[in-house]
Structure 1
Amino acid sequence: MVGSIELVSDPRINVDAFRALVAQKAGETYSGEKIKASVAALQATRRFTKVDVDVRPEAAGLHVIFVLEPAFYVGILQFPGATRVFTYTRLLQVVNLPDEDPYEKTRIPQAETALLNFLRTNGFFQATVGTETQLDEENQLANITFNVQLNKRARIGRVEVQGPPQQEAARLVRSMRSLRATVTGAALKPGKSYTQERLKSATGRLQKYLAGQRRLASRVRMNPPQYHAETNRADVSFNVEEGPIVDIRTAGARLSVFPFLGGRRQKKLIPIYDEGAFDRDLVEEGRRNLVNFFQEKGYFDAKVKTVVQHQPDKISLLYQIDKGKRHRVREISFRGNQNLPEDKLLTHIEIRKHHLLSRGRYSEKFLRKSVTDIEALYRDAGYENVKVDPQVVDHEPDIDVTFQIVEG
């Protein structure tokens, strides 16, 4: 479906007079025949040396651009007044006017709006933007200057948390004013500068506080700020859905002989803690991490099952671990490697043979990584169609790993 149609030419030419010649209409299904007919009709006017068509997929449908030569193209973009605070690269991303794109007048107001919105989300609610375009006749370029007046950055006004009971909401607000919040740059107090970094850190601080209460399925969303021009302050509020308490346990094997280290490892291996969220993908990622952890310790047959129980105000998650017997990596071999020697391949894999002080190094994660690295090594050498098939044979308590290589 065609979402929009634009005619682009020399900015001094009124292209509206030629729109009636375009057979393809917005809101209709894209038609190659109608596009050809439109190009032929535009060329028949003899006003343009060439007519090109540029089709771009967008959310609203296909954006069809008829480029009527001689046209102008986006040249140098400048942002005086803004680059002292923001990087030039970031400003280019915001206005989204790639160099050498056909210059379209209609895109300038859109770029101005995007830039103003960006500045306001970063605390410059009083910022103004004025645009000037200079045409470089010799090179057919349109050089665009966005004159930015930032004015004073706003400061934080009132801070509120909506959703939980009043007492809990007050505790959440205090968590963003704590010493830890100050040290980590997450302090959200009236009078502090309004910056995206501070707001993101404060949101993360709320998530960590809730995680510390075992509210690992919580959701935190910042509401649009309420700006007060007379004081140049913006009130900030968060909508918090606390969610049920999440109880996570491991059974069947210890992560450490020291309980406090085991707890720290559990939080490191199970991403639900860091993400402050609960879903099937995170549960599965935690399972894989536990399997890899025990395999790296020599328990190559380690298996982990998950049991999830849902209650109205609680989620119980159990990781049942069966680490099996300890193994060692006896042999690592390669077959089919006609053009790369074994000693070079060995330096590009994560798996290691046993030696006097080690049972070797093996896990499903390391096996996958080794396959990827071998294939990358071959492709760098010009073998684009290489295939590597790993084979693991368990001889209890030893395992042999063979990489079957088809160089292609």
Structure 2
Amino acid sequence: MRLSGVTIWKFMIPLLWVSTGAVSAAVADFEGKPIGVVAFEPKQQPLGAEELAGLVPFKKNDPLRLADIREAIGRLYATGRYADIVVDAGLQDGRVSVRFVTKGNWFVGNVAINSVPAPPTGGQLENAAGLVLGTPFSPEAVARATEGIQAVLRANGYFNAVIREHVAYQARTQQVDVRFEIDPGRRARFSEPVITGETKRPARQLVRETKWKGWFGWRPITESRAQGGVERILESYRRDGFLMARASWNGIDPATGRPALEVNAGPEVRIEATGAKVSQGRLRRLIPVFEEQTVDRDLLVEGAADLTEYFQGRGYFDAKVDFTSETAGDGRLKIVYAVDRGERQKLVALLLGGNRYFDLATLRERMLVTPASFQVRRGRFSPGLLARDLETIADLYRSNGFRDVKVTSRVERDYRGRRGDIAVHVQIEEGPQWFVTTTALEGVSLEHVEALRSMLQSGPGQPFSEANVAADRDNILAYYFNRGYPDASFEWGYRAAA
């Protein structure tokens, strides 16, 4: 079956115009009079004379048009080199003198930061400053850069660092060179920390876990050492079942001048499985609360799904897993996963029929359901995997023009009289294949038609599918967005051929 005029695109491409800048009232008074002089102030402009002439849509002896003035302002702003543009005009000997008074933008030039005893490294200080070559410059950006550098220095024990900024403006290049002079002072050392929060452990045990104190006393403060201590505290809690423990390094306590730690143990969490043997190591790998270090219903549901998939992968295709949770009087949280494995089975046959357009190898390579083999001893099967495979096959046909395809399945238990063996039958009704006969583009200017047609997947003679149209939509909108049309839109429709 073929379609006629199946795809019709309509593009809403807005005209772009800029209304920034200022035009003096005198310019409007001289509308239509011949232009005598076009000048720029100051004489040293960020753009060359030839480039400026190309951006201004009028020249000497042309009649003055207010629309041309506004277009010139828009083009100049679009270069990104100007912060302000004012256009003034005066009349001399019957001709108009047009004067562009401009103020250029400033951009970040060379950024220099003197090194300090690492850490932090020079790269870390540059990243903390956040000043990127060629980006717009402002005094506020320098202030933010100083704050960022100071924060990195404090995190690494330089609490009394002094930073001086030196700024040099380069008018010729419109760049601003910035130099940060750092006097870091002495790096501080850890000391007995101030620990707040509900720790459920003695402070000396937590301090021992941090390893901030060595054989020869307290170690120098670095960010990695501070965070490493926090991670070791958390790991010690997790080993004892406190999965929701939280700990943070809060720098130096201003009241005491000592390191500040906040630690909250949270409830003790116990997770176990009933109905089937599952080791604690396996539970830790399968239940995501161990990795996420928090307990909520979504993660527990995900854990039940992962346990179900684990048993299905071992031949218990009908396995079901549920869970319960309860909080004891002492605050302990107990989570029990109840496993019903069902009968152990083996997928011995995967039978596909009705396919003519695609061969069996093409279909089978896209399926997750797999019959038993040397590599997969009992096969891979579950109702969820089968449903996913049916939809994958249907999508494959639909993307190739089979809009009316139907894919169904049947599971045969005790296949050929052998208990525990199952076979999966997949039946495909392909239906007719639809093709594109003509493609029409609407709302597209002539200079874009050839480029757009060359990228179409829904061209004449191609299979017709919504997937191809969606790809065409993305490609065409990207084409317009990259050419300065952010509000371009896409609509399509089709009709069947007579």
Matched with 2:259 is 236
Change in CA separation of 1:361 and 1:202 when aligned onto 2, cut-off 3 Å: farther
Q: Say how many residue pairs are matched.
A: 337
d(CA) in 1 for partners of 2:183, 2:123: 19
Please, which of 92, 108, 115 is the counterpart of residue 81 of structure 1? 115
Cα deviation for residue 112 of structure 1 reads 0.6
- Superposition pairs for residues 206-285 of structure 1, below 5 Å? 206-226=233-253, 235-255=258-278, 262-285=279-302
| Equivalent-residue separation in structure 1 for 2:338 and 2:20 (angstroms) | 67
Matches within 5 A, 1:80-99: 80-81=114-115, 85-86=119-120, 90-99=124-133
Does the aligned pair in 2 maintain the 1:53–1:67 contact within 8 Å?
A: no
Shift of 1:307: 0.9
Q: Mapping of 1:6-405 within 5 angstroms?
A: 39-40=21-22, 52=77, 67-68=83-84, 69-81=103-115, 85-86=119-120, 90-164=124-198, 168-177=202-211, 187=212, 191-226=218-253, 235-255=258-278, 262-312=279-329, 313-329=331-347, 330-331=349-350, 352-356=370-374, 358-361=377-380, 394-396=411-413, 397-398=421-422, 400=424
Q: Which moved more, 1:318-327 or 1:393-402?
A: 393-402
The one-letter code matched in structure 2 to 1:70 is: G
Secondary structure of residue in 2 paired with 1:359: coil
1: CA distance, partners of 2:344 / 2:128: 55
Following the alignment from structure 2 to structure 1, what is the Cα–Cα distance between the partners of residues 359 and 117? 53
**Cα distance change of structure 1 residues 390 and 172 upon mapping to structure 2, 3 Å threshold:** farther
Measure the CA separation in 2 of the matches of 1:203 and 1:266.
25
Q: Report deviation, 1:115.
A: 1.1
CA contact (8 A) 1:248 1:317 kept: yes
Secondary structure at 2:202 match in 1: helix
Q: Is the 8 A contact 1:270 1:286 kept in 2?
A: yes
Do the aligned partners of residues 234 and 373 (structure 1) sit closer, same or farther apart at CA in structure 2, a change above 3 Å counting?
farther
The residue type equivalent to 1:217 in the other structure is M
Name the amino acid aligned to 2:350: E
Equivalent residues of 2:165, 2:180 under 8 A apart: yes
Deviation at 1:342, TM superposition (A): 6.7
5+ unaligned residues in a row in structure 1: which ranges? 1-35, 55-65, 178-186, 256-261, 384-388
Secondary structure in 2 matching 1:154: coil
Q: Quick one: distance in 1 between partners of 2:427 and 2:139?
A: 59
Aligned-pair identity in percent equals: 21
> Structure 1 residues 324, 108: CA separation in 2 closer, same or farther (over 3 Å shift)?
same
Can you list the C-alpha shifts for 1:313-358, whole angstroms capped at 9, x where unaligned? 12121111222333445338799997x9875786677664421461
Tell me the distance in 2 between the aligned counterparts of 1:98 and 1:336.
Answer: 58
Letter of the 1:204 partner, please give it: E
CA separation in 1, counterparts of 2:336 and 2:195? 32
Deviations 1:251-294 (A, max 9, x none): 12222xxxxxx121112222333444322333233223212222
Residue 138 (structure 1) shift: 4.0
Q: What secondary structure, in the 3-state scheme, does the structure 2 residue paired with 1:158 have?
A: coil
**d(CA) in 1 for partners of 2:424, 2:169:** 69
- Higher RCO (C-alpha 8 Å, min separation 6): 2
The CA distance in 2 between the partners of 1:242 and 1:120, in whole Å, is 27
d(CA) in 1 for partners of 2:324 and 2:235? 25
Aligned CA-pair RMSD: 4.9
SS in 1 for 2:218: coil
What secondary structure does 1:170 align onto? Answer: helix
| TM-score (normalised: structure 2) | 0.54
Aligned to 1:11: none
Shift of the alpha carbon at 1:360? 2.7
Where 1:161 maps in the other structure, the secondary structure is strand
Deviation at 1:203, TM superposition (A): 1.6
The letter of the residue matching 1:201 is G
State the 1:117 CA deviation: 1.0
Quote the Cα distance in structure 1 between the aligned partners of 2:194 and 2:109: 46
Shift of 1:214: 2.4
Structure 2: which 5+ runs fail to align?
A: 1-17, 28-39, 46-72, 85-102, 401-405, 414-420, 431-464, 469-498
- Measured after TM superposition, the shift of residue 108 of structure 1 is 0.6
Amino acid at match of 1:296: G
Distance 1:243 1:349 in 2: 44
Q: How far, CA to CA, are the matches of 2:407 and 2:227 in structure 1?
A: 43
Q: Which residue of 1 aligns with 2:444?
A: none
Secondary structure class of the residue paired with 1:106: helix
Contact 2:287 2:300 in 1 (8 A): yes
Distance 1:318 1:343 in 2: 43
